[in-house]
Amino acid sequence: MNLLVDIGNTRLKWATYQDGRIGEIQSVAHGESGLAQELVSAWVRMHPPTRVTLSSVVPGPIATLRTWIRRHWGVPLDEVLVTAEAFGIRCGYSQPAQLGVDRWVAVIGARTLNDGDLCVVDCGTAITVDGLTRDNHHAGGFIIPGLALMRRALAMGTENLPDVSGAACTAPAFNTRDAILGGTLHATVGGVRSALCAMRQTLAWKDEPKIFLTGGESRRLQPYLEFAATVVPNLVFLGLARFADAN
């Protein structure tokens, strides 16, 4: 059994991988302290894997994770890094290491589902939009603040606006809370739409690309995007599985 681990900006997620099947995705919050204890609570009763395949957009938790795995399981840990090419897919960045590994792994995961032109919209703490051409060239992308991040920025950058959360209405609001919820939703959706239009125009795609939505906010945003998109919650894990199979 392989253990697939994805460390994002706010959460550490994992799933077992065996015989070509990805298990249930689970997660814990991570921070500067407390991760080791969180792992004890989450993993101490888990059957030890034969190896761990990891991708992380933040360096901090990796050392803690390596130490925990070495102490409790003593199995190899393979960290996925962005390279100029992987599985026939060519990175569009002139300096591949500058591309977020989550974006790279998600694009590789998306290719397992579709062999044509496609876009990946990853709706997490930040929202990323990446293109992949049918000839396997990563076509660059965009980074947009996520819903929660945008709302926190309003609260931190102003004197009187609160940090709010909850369901948003798209109609004009008559109170500050709803105005923030609706306004940030419109800003996010508009940003994603504009990014996708720019991708289509730049690449001059003849056919409509397949669009995949992934990440924690994907289902919340899908109804408002007004284009056909498939939600695939485990897209990063599909990519990690390819790297696990290669080791």
102 is catalytic: yes
Which listed residue (6, 19, 102, 130) is catalytic?
Answer: 102
| Identity of residue 34 | G
**Pairwise CA distance, residues 107 & 205, whole Å:** 18
**Pairwise CA distance, residues 46 & 25, whole Å:** 14
Look at residues 95, 70, 73, 74 and name the one whose alpha carbon lies nearest to residue 84.
Answer: 95
Contacts made by residues 65-74, CB under 8 angstroms, sequence distance 24+: 65/5, 65/7, 65/12, 65/35, 65/39, 67/36, 68/36, 68/39, 68/40, 68/43, 72/43, 72/44, 72/48, 73/48, 73/49
Chain centroid offset of residue 98 CA: 16
**Pairwise CA distance, residues 133 & 10, whole Å:** 30
> Which sequence positions are flagged as catalytic?
102
